[in-house]
Structure 1
Amino acid sequence: MCSLVTTPIYLKWIYILLEDNDISVINIVHQLSSHHYELVQLSQDIAKNFELTTLVGALMWFKNMIETVYYLLFVTVNGTDRPIVHYGINIMFLILNLYWLFVVIRIYVRIKNAANKSASYIHEIWNKYALKRAIDTKIRYLQLTAVQFYATKLNFTACDVVSLDWSFCQMMIASITTYVVILIQFQI
């Protein structure tokens, strides 16, 4: 989604344009920053269409993983007549649920990281000129543009309840562990 602004080709293109002393360079950088803002807004609007689905899916994964882990522990303690079948199917089901959770989170994280790299590219160009002490009006405009990019960082949430990044996976695994321990303690 956001690869238009974040590709290194645009970084080289801006370097070349900044060699010119033309006012159109500032306009091009301004257009790129507006496109970046529009892409961030579009990404968030698309993600909002799937917020409820993602949240309900995460709750279903959570429930399935708790039940599967608890069942595996139950079978381990109480035994079964066909342990390979019980263990094999349930472990495959658990791996499938974890796989889908990681795939969905990876997609959100990858888009977020690609969109947020744009600010680094503009800031890197500004640093190049700052080190040479060649700061003028157009270079200061790059600094302003970099600040605007940092201010419009892309972040995905599910109905503003949880942030959809790797911390969500960590929270999910920690919660599953906690609930399984509670179930074991109360021997439910």
Structure 2
Amino acid sequence: MESNNSPIISTVIEFSGLLLGLIKVRENLLRNVLWNISLLIYAVYLGVWAYYYVYSNHNSEKTADYEGVFKYATQFCRMVELAQVTFRITWYRIKAKPMKMLLDEMEKRKMGIRSFITIENFHFVPIFSIFIGVIILEHIYFYHFENKELYTLMWVYPLMLMILEYFVIDEIIRHIRKKFRTLNNELIILTESWILYDIYPGIKNQVLAEFFVRNVNEEINRIHKLSTFHYDMMVHTQVLSQFFTVLFSGNMATMLCGIIDACYNISHLPYNMNHWKPIFRSSSWVILQAYCAALIVNAWESLKSEANKSASILHDIWNKHSVENGTNRKMNYLRLVALRFSATKLNFTAHGLFPINRALLHSMLTTVTTYVLILVQLKDVK
């Protein structure tokens, strides 16, 4: 039976989902209060954003760096963050209940087979540590700015929201990937007896041959059950991805604007020892946001890879059975199952806007380079 050494959402991940308003786990007063804290935090963020926007526009003598194209690029970046946060909070409120129902349905899909994989409960520690480190550098040491507490909050909140969301999504993806990997391992076990033919050709005696023939029906029945589970998981995973990938485009847009703004900030400053602190500060934000983008893409890419691996494993099983048993009704059915596996591969997109794969990171790098080069040429325009 499948082990229960970790729930689908660990304590930290569950709290993150509640704080975001992303998952409403149980109906009681404390959890409902936590679930609604996100609205209060969002209201505070709106106030800070409005204050800072007015402050940066009407106190130009205190914000000397915010001039010309640099000023408008920064304002555009802030507006993208505001729009993305507003859309995210609204989306969470609309989709929290149906998403919880879907997660419950997926959790009921027990395979009844051996479980080989355990969930890592502290895999989020590295990114959280880097995030806290950048905030400390930004707030305490590197940024000398009046009302820097408000500035830090305005910068940090959208990114914190994105990272907490990543914690929840990644834990769910890990749980689903565990099920697919367990299924793949079970399919691999079905091929072990046939590997004996390749290693020890001399044991092809009548008794062993009859044993294999007797087990063909059992193995095909097992493959039928696994294929049904695989198809159900593929459908549920595709539906679940629609809850999150619609936000993926917003995440990428926010990080892309942040990286462009920080890179332009670096190019806007003279390269001398008097400006190494702002350059280092902006570089730390570039590294953090690029790292977040890579983690988000890799989470979906790894799930797709694990889910689609089943097709090649099942194709190997069909090859081995067809060589030994020829073509008959059972082998035709097995080939049909293998073809269905190959035809139902996962491919995630950001709500149809663009595919979610590692090639997206290359596109982001190209986009950042292009826009920074354009902005650098306009940096003296007032």
- 2:331 is paired with a residue of what secondary structure? helix
Q: For residues 50 and 110 of structure 1, do their structure 2 counterparts lie closer, same or farther at Cα, with a shift above 3 Å needed?
A: same
Amino acid at match of 1:57: N
In the alignment, structure 2 segments of 5+ residues that lack a partner are 1-175, 195-210
Q: Retained in 2: the 8 A contact 1:129–1:135?
A: no
Shift of 1:129: 3.4
Q: Which residue does the alignment assign to 1:109?
A: 301
1:56 aligns with 2:234: no
Q: TM-score, normalised by structure 1?
A: 0.87
Between the two proteins, the alignment pairs up a number of residues equal to 185
Partners of 2:329 and 2:261 in 1: how far apart?
Answer: 62
1:42 aligns with 2:216: no
Shift of 1:28: 2.2
Q: Which residue does the alignment assign to 2:11?
A: none
Partners of 2:241 and 2:272 in 1: how far apart?
Answer: 44
Q: Retained in 1: the 8 A contact 2:260–2:368?
A: yes
Q: For residues 154 and 33 of structure 1, do their structure 2 counterparts lie closer, same or farther at Cα, with a shift above 3 Å needed?
A: same
Q: Retained in 1: the 8 A contact 2:259–2:286?
A: yes
Q: Which residue does the alignment assign to 2:95?
A: none
Q: Which residue does the alignment assign to 2:349?
A: 157
Shift of 1:67: 0.6
Map Cα deviations across residues 34-83 of structure 1 (whole Å, 9 max, x no partner): 111111112112211112322211110010011111111111xx346632
1:28 aligns with 2:28: no
Map Cα deviations across residues 155-180 of structure 1 (whole Å, 9 max, x no partner): 11111101111011111111111111
Which protein has greater RCO, CA pairs closer than 8 Å, 6+ apart? 1
1:4 aligns with 2:182: yes
Q: After superposition, where does 1:1-188 map in structure 2 within 5 Å?
A: 1=176, 2-7=180-185, 9-13=186-190, 16=193, 19=212, 20-21=214-215, 23-75=217-269, 78-79=270-271, 82-132=274-324, 134-187=326-379
Amino acid at match of 2:368: I
Partners of 1:40 and 1:82 in 2: how far apart?
Answer: 56
Shift of 1:21: 4.7
- 2:317 is paired with a residue of what secondary structure? helix
Map Cα deviations across residues 3-56 of structure 1 (whole Å, 9 max, x no partner): 23222x332236559933554433321221111111111211221111232221
